[in-house]
Amino acid sequence: MSLSTSFKIEPRREIPRSLLYATPLLAVVLTVVAGFFIFLFMGYDPFLSLYHFFVSPLLTFYGLSELMVKAAPLIMIGVGLAIGFRANVWNIGAEGQLTLGAITGGVVALAFWNQEGIWILPLMCIAGILGGMAYAAIPAFLKTHLNVNEILTSLMLTYVATLFLSTLVYGPLKDPMGFNFPQSRMFGDSALLPILLEGTRMHLGTVLALLIAVAGWVLMTFTIVGFQIRVLGQAPAAARFAGFSRTKLIWLCLMISGGLAGLAGTFEVSGPIGQLIPVITPGYGFTAIIVAFLGRLHPLGIILSGLLMALSYIGGENAQVEVGLPQAVTGVFQGLLLFFLLASDFLVRYRIRRRAAVPQAVGAAQPAE
Amino acid sequence: MIKPHSRRHFLAGSGAAAGALALGGPAAFAADPLKVGFVYVGPVGDFGWTHGHDLGRKAIEKEFGDKVKTTFVESVAEGPDAERVIRQLAAAGNKLIFTTSFGFMNQTVRVAKQFPKVMFEHATGYQTAKNVSAYNARFYEGRDVIGTIAGHMTKTGKFGYIASFPIPEVVMGINAFILAARKVRPDAEIKVVWVNSWFDPGKEADATKALIDQGCDVITQHTDSPAPIQTSGSRGVWCFGQASDMSSFAPDQHLTAILDVWGPYYVERTRAVLDGTWQTSNVWQGFKEGMVEMSPYNKNLPAEVVAAAEKIRKGIIDGSHHSFTGPIKDQDGKERVAAGERMSDEALLTMDWYVEGVTA
């Protein structure tokens, strides 16, 4: 008898909580083990490579501060996206909303260039949030009024946002003293996020990102709105019977995720970048989708997954500098991590059972519905 | 393999100040090789821009052997990530760091302030500092040569140009190409497609297909992958390599390539650091100094076309020819450079207008 007939895969009735939280750790462990052998076969010292990948970036204050700088936008955006994903609202366009937030926040900074005042930075943040929200409002409107799939619209609008930013920095926002290179003036001091730790780039936004994640957790766990969002995602029919407004919740989810992405964009330009340039983000909006799922769509889990994802980038750069590992290894690592996470996810949701040797009853298959 | 254990623990122990302190550290080991770092915007295997810089890195290794140790970080995004990478290289004991894309400029200057004893060399920008030099090549001279060839080879009079970002360097290249081509074929025009990336083989190939479908029969590019060459080759359209010799991707159609030759400059600057004679400089070199070269001409090029191309190249070297000599009119037909006048370097380096014949 062949294997295919003696084993069968069946969905678990109930998903054990312990497995749900253990699998991301398992995925990380398996990634490290697989990475060990990849390094070994590539001819690099596997211990030294792993050390520079995962450990040495964490050994200095500077390394830790960089980890926060890199993880902050991922966490902020990831938390916003996760809230939507819980409600089956698939905002894939955080990259575009981030870009819009960078533009609106940046425009405020440039409008008050040469001026000082503690009100400039808060104004920029508000502008950034509104910019991101306004951009997410387009897919929200199309979804609620015309039933257009938000995956498609939010994703496509990302490219529009990038080109809009290019138009601005090649045109009206170009630094008049910048030799026609596509970048705005450097922001004034009042438009820059304060640095928390002298000699690093750790800005106020990194701490706010953590607070936002905690706020997201409170929203999802302790409020009625959070409950409604979860019900809408898990049982849309039940949500309807309970009288929850689907339209309102879709708007809410897209406004939260868009607003947070926009704020992350403002933080990027008023933090580590300090001006508007044609490319604001190295794909934070897309990476945050991975971060959201890696964190189990749980705001506190997203803090950890954001830090882990940031470490995989920084460790990848570090390993290039210290061991000479090729850059592609970073990509392979992230791919492995996702692969193992999805694979272990499969084991969480399904189990493999040896099929009993009784003949299958004719007509056992259930008629649909 | 060198395993810098001692330094690593030193760094680990000294916490936040590690970066700055590391500067003083390696000076104690006089026999240590000079560490030279490179930051690349693309992958070393791009067969174009970054590949060219990597050849320069290898030239340093070949010239100095054990006296140097080079390290590179590839595919670094222009923006905040670049600052961290440059800093990591400086903190890891590299004494000379080449940052090879325009978008690394502000980051290079910022890190340079924190590491006053590390020398930085930034490509294609305009900022310099006490320990930051700028260097660039006169790629437009090569565009002049390939524009001349294109003018001879085209049947339709339409050229396709796959461009990255409309920065002065790229605008200048487009203009040099069409100015040269229109001297041979006065009705020639050029269509530009912006892919908004330095390296995106997929987009570059798509842009190439679109341009060929619109009737362009010569394709040239200011992006770093060989995808346009491959596409042109498969469609039987003439094309020119960018930054490196790309003839292997379309042996029959690849007419020549503009080569970026960084090796001699890199070797010279490394020697200056080894000798302790490094000083801030800002150079813009071309055919004459050997920073720009043409790769071997394709055997399919008629002899008279090769002769016309060589005339341009030699004219530039001996100074009798300048790619931007008036009269030059812009897209609106307004005269921007008077007859006989040569554009100054300053005007070229800030060029943000297109000459007649460009559709961008």
Per-residue pLDDT of A310-339, as tens digits, reads 998 898 888 888 888 888 887 887 788 778
Interchain CB distance below 8 Å, A199 and B16: yes
Q: Which of B81, B118, B171 best probes binding to A when mutated, by most A CB atoms within 10 angstroms? A: B81
Task: Please indicate, yes or no, if residue B274 is contained in any of the structural domains.
Answer: no
Domain count, chain A: 1
- If one compares A199 and B154, the residue with the highest pLDDT of the two is B154
**So what's the pLDDT on residue A114?**
85
Token pair recorded at residue A327: 């850059």
Q: Are B206 and B113 contained in the same domain? A: no
Question: Quick one: B23 and B117 in the same domain?
Answer: yes
Nearest to B269 by CA among B177, B70, B104, B133: B133
Angstrom distances, CA of residue A290 to CA of A98, B7, B88 = 16, 35, 26
Residue A360 has pLDDT above 60, yes or no: no
Domain span holding position A135: 75-303
**Residue A275 in contact with partner chain B when CB distance is under 8 A:** yes
Mean pLDDT for chain A? 89
Classify residue B174: in a domain, yes or no: yes
Statement to judge: residues B203 and B345 lie in one domain: yes
In a domain, residue B37? The reply is yes
Domain stops at, among B137, B170, B195: B137
Q: Answer whether residue A261 is part of any domain.
A: yes
* Structural domains in chain B (count): 2
Q: Are residues B82 and B162 in the same domain?
A: no
The pLDDT of residue A49 is above 60 = yes
Q: Do A314 and B84 touch (CB under 8 A)?
A: yes
Please choose, from the candidates B232, B260, B267, the residue with its C-alpha nearest in 3D space to the C-alpha of residue B245. Answer: B260
Is the same domain home to B302 and B161? yes
| One domain for residues B123 and B167 | no
Say yes or no to pLDDT of A297 above 50.
Answer: yes
Q: How confident is the model at residue B295, as a pLDDT? A: 95
- What pTM value is reported for the model? 0.80
B225 lies in a domain?
Answer: yes
In a domain, B281, yes or no: no
Contact A324 B71 (CB under 8 A): yes
Residue B211 is assigned to a structural domain of this protein: yes
One domain for residues B22 and B158: no
Q: Pick from B121, B137, B153: which residue ends a domain?
A: B137
Does residue B51 fall inside a structural domain? yes
Contact indicator for A119, A112 with CB cutoff of 8 Å? no
**Cis before residue B327, ω within 30 degrees of 0?**
yes
Q: Mean pLDDT lowest for which of A177-181, A304-308, B97-101, B321-325?
A: A177-181
Tell if the CB–CB gap between A180 and B352 is shorter than 8 Å.
yes
Tens digit of each residue's pLDDT (9 = 90 or more) over A139-155: 999 999 999 999 999 99
Average of pLDDT values for B275-280? Answer: 95
Q: What is the band of A358 on the pLDDT scale with cuts at 50, 70, 90? A: low
- ipTM score over 0.85, yes or no: no
CATH number of the domain to which B112 belongs: 3.40.50.2300
Clarify whether residues B230 and B341 are in a common domain. yes
Same domain, B169 and B235: yes
Instruction: Single out the residue in B102, B137, B172 at which a domain terminates.
Output: B137
Q: Do A317 and B92 touch (CB under 8 A)?
A: no
**Shared domain check, B155 and B29:** no
Distance in angstroms (rounded) separating the CA atoms of residues B33 and B68 = 5
Residue A248 lies in a domain: yes
Residues B130 and B150 in one domain: no
Q: Which domain holds residue B45?
A: 5-137
Phi and psi at residue B297, to the nearest 5°: -70, 145
Q: Are residues B125 and B9 in the same domain?
A: yes
Helix (H) or strand (E) holding B37: strand B34-39
In-domain check, residue B277: no
B5: left (phi over 0), alpha (psi -120 to 50) or beta: alpha
Number of inter-chain CB pairs under 8 A, A vs B: 112
